Structure 1
Amino acid sequence: MSSAKRVVLAAANSRALDVYVGYTNLLVGRDKACRLGQYLARFLAYVVARRIARQGKTAGLVAWLATLAKVQQALGTTRKVMRAGKFVNFAQLAARAIAAAAPGDDEVAWALGLAQKLGMCVFMAADTLGLLGTTLALVRLRDPAHVARVAQRGWLCALAAQALLAVYQLRAVSIRAADLRRVRSHIEKTDDAMGDRECAIEERALAVQRAGLSRQLAAAALDLTIPLKGLGILPLNEGLVALAGTATSLMGAQDVLSKVVSA
């Protein structure tokens, strides 16, 4: 076998290439990559705009600003197309949550989960309507700006519900961890080896759950800055908002990548 053929075979069977193909085959993976590019372009545009404000306009800086604006718009439109119609999925999830409600369920967690799904349904529906009416001009909208505001409000409600649910579940984990510490203290006095192993297993499970919920809370809190600024509720710095979006995009891409690697 020739050296060139060996190189080609090695490249074709590369684990890195397998991971890349697996990642890009997923719609959510492509969406997270586009989102990362979108918010990174937004942050770089902020940096360039600040430089122009300090140093004055130059041909190079103006060209960079125009390019970054085009990248941001193109990736934003691409993401809108990829998620068009996804509001049906969130409507279905909300309907299933309502249908599956039972008297013994945790009502707070159920209500917050339902609010998150309904908020995302509103966001996605208004987002799809805006795509059809503004970008593609397939339907006529009386007030496109109002549709965009409805989308932002839906997203804001979904993120707020997600953050509150994470806080609520973290509190439940903390209560369970405190109970487990009391059980472990009793087990240590009785020298129960089997009970000690069971406590150790549950402690590890709680640690994993706490880490996941903390990550969820951090992502929701960072993403909240985007609709809060978009709706004019808080006068947040454009650079900080862009960085927040970049950070949560990286977190989302990492989550998808970890699933592809472990598959």
Structure 2
Amino acid sequence: MHPLVSKSLKIWATTLGRDKTYRAIQYFARFYAYILLTRGDKDAAQRWNALKNHLGLGRKLMRLGKPLEHLQAALKASQSIALSRQSAERFTTVARQLCYAGYLAFDAVVWANSVKFINLLPPKADRTLRISLRFWFAGILFGLGNGLLKAGRLANEAKALKAVGTTEKSVGDNAANETKLKVLERERAAVRYQMLLDLMDMWIPATGLGVVNFNDGVVGLLGVITSVMAFRSQWNSLQMG
């Protein structure tokens, strides 16, 4: 009945919590299999590769409905009143969500072919995978662009609040400004955190596309780190009832 156990059970009751946990294990298996192969232990590496592959297929199955979530998020962002004055932020937000929807839609086709529900010829299967990776890579790039724009806007807002604070004489006004500054600092920290996650995550699809030539050890380690970071964000945002 410890609160830590209760919170763990609550986060693992969510699809996102389970997905990030499976993702961390999947990429650790990729990393560890590479280490075992470099040591010449092919039998053990094969077991970890099998775990990686099965977790990957399981995660694809869990994500079959997610393209609709991203399409809905894109629609909401396009109609957002809060983003109406931030056209560049709105564009990058919508573009990111559309790219993720495209990535997951093609990823579903990859899954269907992997489980033999459909049968694609090898060249077409490879092309489908590459299209999926391109959408993923583009989504991350749009996310980074959005982060830069948002970070710049929040920095300007914080600077303006600090400038106003130096001229305010009312204690109440100063207190209100301090509260707003704290909210802005939390938002800025969240944006920086997400940008760091995206900066590391982008090398995974980039490697699959041949943009860079990282080995499975590096890719696996990056995947573990970003999975733990995403899980941590979800953990911190979870409210215990």
Gaps of 5+ in 1: 1-12, 53-60
Residue 26 of structure 2 aligns to a residue whose secondary structure is helix
Provide the residue aligned with 2:225 in structure 1.
247
The yes-or-no answer on 1:82 pairing with 2:62 is yes
- Kept in 2, the 8 Å contact 1:43–1:242? The answer is yes
Unaligned runs of 5+ in 2: none
Aligned match for 1:223, one of 191, 194, 201: 201
Shift of 1:173: 1.0
Q: Which residue of 2 aligns with 1:204?
A: 182
Q: Counterparts of 1:236 and 1:222 in 2: how far apart (Å)?
A: 12
Alignment of 1:143-162 (within 5 A): 143-162=124-143
Q: Identity, % of aligned pairs?
A: 23
Shift in Å, 1:241 = 2.2
Count residues with an aligned counterpart.
Answer: 239
The CA distance in 2 between the partners of 1:192 and 1:85, in whole Å, is: 52
TM-score, normalising length: structure 1: 0.84
Per-residue deviation, 1:132: 1.0
Which of 139, 143, 152 is matched with 2:118 structurally? Answer: 139
Question: Is structure 2 residue 25 aligned with structure 1 residue 37?
Answer: yes
Residue of 152, 155, 167 corresponding to 1:174 = 155
The one-character-per-residue Cα deviations of 1:52-80 (angstroms, maximum 9, x if unpaired) are 3xxxxxxxx22221111111111111101
Write the distance in 2 (CA, Å) between the matches of 1:211 and 1:104. Answer: 23
Deviation of 1:96 (Å): 3.9
Is contact 1:85-1:128 (8 Å) kept?
Answer: no
The equivalences for 1:67-106 within 5 A come to: 67-98=47-78, 104-106=84-86
Aligned match of 2:6:
18
Deviations 1:228-249 (A, max 9, x none): 1110012234322222111110
Change in Cα spacing, 1:214 to 1:152, as seen in structure 2 (3 Å) is: same
**Counterparts of 2:110 and 2:137 in 1: how far apart (Å)?**
17
Task: Return the alpha-carbon distance in structure 1 between the equivalents of residues 81 and 235 of structure 2.
Answer: 33
TM-score normalized by the length of structure 2: 0.91
In 2, Cα distance between the equivalents of 1:98 and 1:260?
A: 27
Structure 1 residues 18 and 146: alpha-carbon distance in aligned structure 2, compared to 1, 3 A threshold:
same
* Equivalent of residue 256 in structure 1, options 225, 234, 239: 234
Q: Which amino acid aligns with 1:183?
A: V
Q: Secondary structure at the match of 2:74?
A: helix
Task: Point out the structure with max Rg over C-alpha.
Answer: 1
Higher deviation after alignment, 136-145 or 161-170: 136-145
1:108 to 2:88 alignment: yes
